[in-house]
Amino acid sequence: MHDVINHLINTVFGLGWPGWAISLIAYLLIATILFMIVPFQMLFLTYFERRAIARMQDRVGPNRVGPEGIFQPVADGVKMFTKEDIVPDAADKWVHLIGPGIVVAPTMFMFAVLPWGPGMVPFDMNIGLLFFFAISSVSAVGLMASGWASNNKFALLGAMRAVAQMVSYEIPAVLSLLAIVLVTGSLSIVDLITFQSGLFISSSDVPGIPDFGLGWFVFTPVGFLAFIAFFIAALAEGERTPFDIPEADSEIVAGYMTEYSGMKFGLFYLAQYVLNFLLCAITAIIFFGGWQGPGVGWLYAQAITPANPAGNGLFNVLAGVLGVFYFLAKTYFFFFVMVWVRGAYARLRIDQLMDFGWKLLIPLTLVNVVSAAIWVGLTKWGAADGLAFVEGWAPLMRWAVAFVITLVMNLVAYFFLVRVYSQSQDERARLDDEVLERLTNVA
């Protein structure tokens, strides 16, 4: 964006403005565009989810407002705006007020490092991935604050559940990303995407692979296991259905949102859907190449970039449109998978949730980190790093050996851990039965 603004002002109009003015204009413009796009994304996502889940449950869903009910979210928004804003008498007024704000603000910050297309990233931070997850953990504070300030036991219970769940599922999410970061050797999200060019094999691992934009991480054993673990953790962080314990309406009313109404409730709703969108987007970016796809790389090579200032501006637009299309298609596919999971699975109990996270996902992702280290050693290192025996091998051969070894390692780890986990769950159920037995005998 900075390059395009610079090109427009200084080259096309020849005004010769200083660099900071161009930066300022570019960032303001990007922020405005994002703040206009994001709420509309959220409106569309709510409509999409309601229609999709209705189709799965053999219903019709909202279809009254506008053609096929497409304006239903707008009507909902109007309703929320005009509702009375109720603050309970016993609530802590200020904390009750700022709670939803603390929940929403981090989700907006996370867009700062999200790349939409080739060259279309608001801010390419060299620690972007870490920033994304650091900021996402802030919203837990807002949940806790709003749950406590409501002075309602259901709200407090919901907040405690939500925070416990978010904190424990952050660990497998970050560990599965750590494997990917090891492979790419960079924390920048843009570098992560450019790494994934190629055709089923990343052209960074094996030079000479034709670039069809399909060298995604999910095609490697390390990336596949990391993808599964990350997506499950993302479902838990976004409070999606198998893990929607914090707002289980049959147990604790609406969790931390119980005492909120009107637009404050709307803010929680907004934060939730925007967070879901972001989690789907980051899944698509990290494991499925983001905007990478057939044709984008070729188009972007002809465009105006810092490396190629003599390019054609038309190709910027073409590459951007195609890249954003691929990116949004992948993101919406993952959102559809989230809805699909909601239609298919029942809610877990809190102890099952914690057991699954701590006893299965975390060991699996730890093994995956070791696999990633082996992958890096076999595909990138040489005699200089102490791996002399790989020196004479062809790149494809090294890639194949790394593939087989990590595949075997991950499969063995998966089957072993799943067996141990299911045995421990059986044992636990047996113990629970014994406790029940003893209770009944005493009584």
Partner 1 sequence: MRSDRVGVLRLPYHYAPTTGGELMDLLIQIIFGLISALVIGAAMMVVTMRNVIHSALWLIASFFGVAALYLLMEAEFIAVVQVLVYVGAISILILFAIMLTRSNEGDRLFTTYWWTSGLIALGLFGAVLVPTLAGTIWNLPQPTGPAGAPEVLSGVEELGRGFVSEFVLHFEIAGVLLTVALIGAIVIAFEERSRRRRVLTLAEELELRKRQQASEHSAVAAADSVD
Smallest distance from partner 1 to CB 342, Å: 23
Smallest distance from partner 1 to CB 131, Å: 5
User: Dihedrals φ, ψ of 304, to 5°?
Assistant: -75, 115
Of 137 and 425, the one with the shorter C-beta distance to partner 1 is: 137
Of 19 and 329, the one with the shorter C-beta distance to partner 1 is: 19
Smallest distance from partner 1 to CB 120, Å: 12
Of 155 and 338, the one with the shorter C-beta distance to partner 1 is: 155
Q: Which amino acid type is present at position 324?
A: V
Of 382 and 397, the one with the shorter C-beta distance to partner 1 is: 382
Of 108 and 160, the one with the shorter C-beta distance to partner 1 is: 160
Smallest distance from partner 1 to CB 321, Å: 19
Give the residues lining the site for partner 1 (CB under 8 A): 18-20, 22-23, 92, 95, 119, 123-127, 130-131, 133-135, 137-138, 140-141, 144-145, 148, 156, 160, 163, 167, 170, 187-188, 190, 194, 305-307, 432, 435-436, 439-440, 443
CB 386 within 8 A of CB 265: no
Of 72 and 292, the one with the shorter C-beta distance to partner 1 is: 292
Distances (CA, A) of 224 to 62, 178, 236, 364, 392: 37, 14, 19, 12, 29
The DSSP secondary structure of 26-91, one letter per residue, reads HHHHHHHHHHHHHHHHHHHHHHHHHHHHHHHTT---S-SSSGGGTTHHHHHHHHHHHS-----TTS
User: Can you name the residues that pair with 198 across neighbouring β-strands?
Assistant: 202
Smallest distance from partner 1 to CB 407, Å: 27
CA angle 61, 66, 72 (to 5 degrees): 50
CA angle 204, 208, 212 (to 5 degrees): 75
- How far apart are alpha carbons 318 and 303 in whole angstroms? 9
Of 95 and 401, the one with the shorter C-beta distance to partner 1 is: 95
Smallest distance from partner 1 to CB 20, Å: 5
Smallest distance from partner 1 to CB 65, Å: 39
Smallest distance from partner 1 to CB 159, Å: 9
- How far apart are alpha carbons 428 and 175 in whole angstroms? 27
- Nearest to 87, CA basis, from 141, 144, 152, 159: 152
Of 59 and 349, the one with the shorter C-beta distance to partner 1 is: 349
CB 367 within 8 A of CB 409: yes
- How far apart are alpha carbons 300 and 291 in whole angstroms? 11
Of 11 and 126, the one with the shorter C-beta distance to partner 1 is: 126
Of 187 and 417, the one with the shorter C-beta distance to partner 1 is: 187
Helices (H), 291-361: 296-301, 313-344, 350-355
Smallest distance from partner 1 to CB 206, Å: 22
Torsion of CA 239, 244, 247, 248, to 10 degrees: 170
**Quick one: tokens of 178?**
């750590």
Smallest distance from partner 1 to CB 62, Å: 33
Residue entry with tokens 């780890």:
413
Smallest distance from partner 1 to CB 270, Å: 21
User: Can you name the residues that pair with 199 across neighbouring β-strands?
Assistant: 214
- How far apart are alpha carbons 196 and 181 in whole angstroms? 13
**Quick one: tokens of 148?**
């406590």
Of 70 and 171, the one with the shorter C-beta distance to partner 1 is: 171
